[in-house]
Structures are given as C-alpha cells and as structure tokens.
Amino acid sequence: MKLIIALLFYLFLIGKSFAETEKNIYQKIDLFSEVLSKIDEEYVEEINQSEVMDAAINGVLQSLDPYSAYMSPKMLDDMQTETSGQFGGLGIEVGMEHGVVKVISPIDNSPASRVGVKAGDYIVKINDIQVQGKSLTEAVELMRGPVGSDIEITIRRIGTKKAIIFNITREIIKIESVKSKYIDGNIGYLRLTSFNENSSDQIKKKIREFNKKDLKGYILDLRNNPGGLLSQAIKITDFFLEDGEIVSTKGRKKSENKKWFAKKGDLTNGKSLIILINYGSASASEIVAGALKQHKRAILVGESSYGKGSVQSIIPLKNEGAIRLTISKYYLPSGESISEVGVNPDIQIEESSDAFVINTKTDNQLNFAVKLFNG
C-alpha cells in the first residue's frame, strides 16, 4: 500500500512539473507578444513587423550555436544558387563567433583572397555599417551585390593593432574544388578547396594519373578548405586507408548516431602522405585530416584547424524558407570531438610573412613538406 501511495505521489509531482513547464512556456509567449506590441507602439521609428519576427526567429536559432540560422525564402534561394557552383560575391566562407562575423576561409583566387583577406579575420564593418549585433545571414546579405560593384570591408586581425580596410569588387565566384601538379617530378600534389558532389571522383582520377609514375608520395593540401559534403570526406579519406573507422556522428535521435568505415584498397598503395592544414581548414577537411592522422597514415603540417565539428541539416518550412539546424556532431576514430578544438598538426609551421600566398614561392608550409620528402 505504501508503495502505491509513493508511486501516485511521484506521478503527481511529475504531472505538476510538466504542467508548470507548459504554463511557463505560455507565459513566455504572452511576454513576447507584449514586447512586440510595445515596440510597435512606442519605438522611435516605425518598424516592419515581418522583419522583426524574422530577426526574433533567427535570434532563437543563433542562441543555440553559431551555425544554426533561419533562412527566409529569398535567402534559401540564394543558398541554392551558391551550391550550384557559381555565384556573385567576395569569395569567403564566414561564420559567427561571439556576435562577430569571422572569416573561416577565403576561396582560392577569389576577390577576397587576392586583396589579402585571411582565415581568422573578423569583419567589423561593411560599407561603414557596423556588423556587430547583426545576424550572420544579415551580414552575408550586406556583402552580396551586383557583379562588378565595389564593397568596402573593415576587418580586425589578431596581432595587428589597427583595423585593415579592403576595397573589393564583386565577381562571379567559380569553385574548382581540385587542382593538381607534379612537384620535382616525383611528388603528387593535390589541392582540395571544397568538398563538392564530384570532388571524390576528381581526386580518384588524379591519383590514378599520378600512379602511372614512380612517386615518392603525395601532398594533400586542405588549407582554406571550409568543408562541404560529409559523404565526400568519407570517400576521399577511404582512398588512403585499407581499413578502420573514418568518422562517427552522434545526435539526440538514434538515426543520427552513425559510424563509417574504410573499405579495403588504398588507392595510393601506401605511399607516404603529408597533409597541409591551417585555421581555414574546417568541417569535412578536419574529418579527413583527423582520421588519417589517428590511423598514422599521414603526417600533418601547418597550423591548427578551425574546429567546426557539427552537422547541419536544412529543414524546409511552410513559408518556403528553411532553418539550418545542428543535428549531430562529428567524432574522430578515437572518440574525440572536433568541435571548438580542431585538429593539431604533427609539425607546426606558421605562415612566414604577410606576402604568403598558398601554392607559390612564398608558401613556406608547402616548401617544408617538399623538404620532408627530399630529406
């Protein structure tokens, strides 16, 4: 009898807790409506209530993490245009950190990379408009404009006291995800700038071409590669492994808890591999570099990577917009998370000077990798 009474009391407490939680939610909704009403009636200028609601929705999502966001129908359409491989803009991948827009990486040979914008730069102004306090999507909208038009961005760079101003002309951005060449006639150099739908096919084709020569080994350059498709990261990692776990994801739903393993067959026949990374290497780049490092299949040279170890899903909404929501996190074969930690190189080599440009004579990181092969 005592057991039954105790159980009923426990169920009563649980029911009361749920009821109080539900009541608190409705109170918050009432409070939100009251705040909106006060703003509409008393704010110094007239407001567009639709825009205010969009900003509120986005605020909820961005309070979760820097990568979750609301996309209006127009923003979703713009994003789909970008993923087709050709779009107008500056050529930078950006994220949000502590309310400030941060450059994850500039795209190779883009207007931004040519003027000197670097991974890790903080964008504080766009055409004299303060960026702090704006959402990431709002900042991206400010950077967009007609092809051929000019834009002025003001950035802050760690280690530099004064703000740096860049004047950039918008261009159609063409993404060529794979570039390759022979170095010294016996090193296969593969530069991967993003993980697009056909990146793995391109890499496989280049490896087969390289295999026709007697190579010392390969250099896989993932610097300033902001990531892309997880499926491509898994395929490209598998090209260099015989077996073993590549990556796993974990989320709230059981369906998001997955593991991926390498299939038998190293396309390079176990040839030596050096991977170049820097702060602009993020997400899918970190999966490839981290997995191959932990399997002792590659030596990592350069600087620590960005630390974006989460998976976002685009979830459609009834208004033909969408939300980009983090649904799971990446974990390396050891079980370590990449989020906010990144992947550390085996050999730390920092950029030698402000004149540094990837894959040129000023590229001391690539030069170091070549010296490792040549002894």
Task: Copy the structure tokens of residue 156.
Answer: 């802050």
* Residue recorded with tokens 């979703």: 76
Check 248, 272, 304, 312 and give the catalytic one: 312
- The DSSP result for 245-268, as a single string, is EEEEEEESSGGG-EEEEPPS--TT
| Separation CA 140–CA 118 (nearest Å) | 17
Task: Copy the structure tokens of residue 351.
Answer: 């950029």
Which amino acid would we find at residue 61? L
Q: Which residues does 68 contact at the CB level (< 8 Å), separation at least 6?
A: 61, 62, 312, 323, 324, 325, 326
Q: Does residue 308 carry a catalytic annotation?
A: yes
* Residue recorded with tokens 């834009």: 151
Q: Which residues does 69 contact at the CB level (< 8 Å), separation at least 6?
A: 58, 61, 62, 135, 136, 137, 323, 324
Nearest to 343 by CA among 279, 248, 266: 279
Give bridge partners of residue 152 from the DSSP assignment: 167
Residue 79 CA: distances (Å) to CA of 76, 140, 216, 253: 5, 11, 41, 26
Q: To 10 degrees, what angle do helices 284-294 and 230-238 make? A: 30
| Distance, C-alpha 103 to centroid of its chain | 10
Check 271, 308, 328, 365 and give the catalytic one: 308
Q: Does residue 283 carry a catalytic annotation?
A: yes
| Distance, C-alpha 223 to centroid of its chain | 13
| Separation CA 189–CA 201 (nearest Å) | 16
Report the chain's C-alpha Rg in angstroms: 24
Check 62, 72, 177, 283 and give the catalytic one: 283
| Separation CA 180–CA 67 (nearest Å) | 31
* Catalytically active residues, by annotation: 283, 308, 312
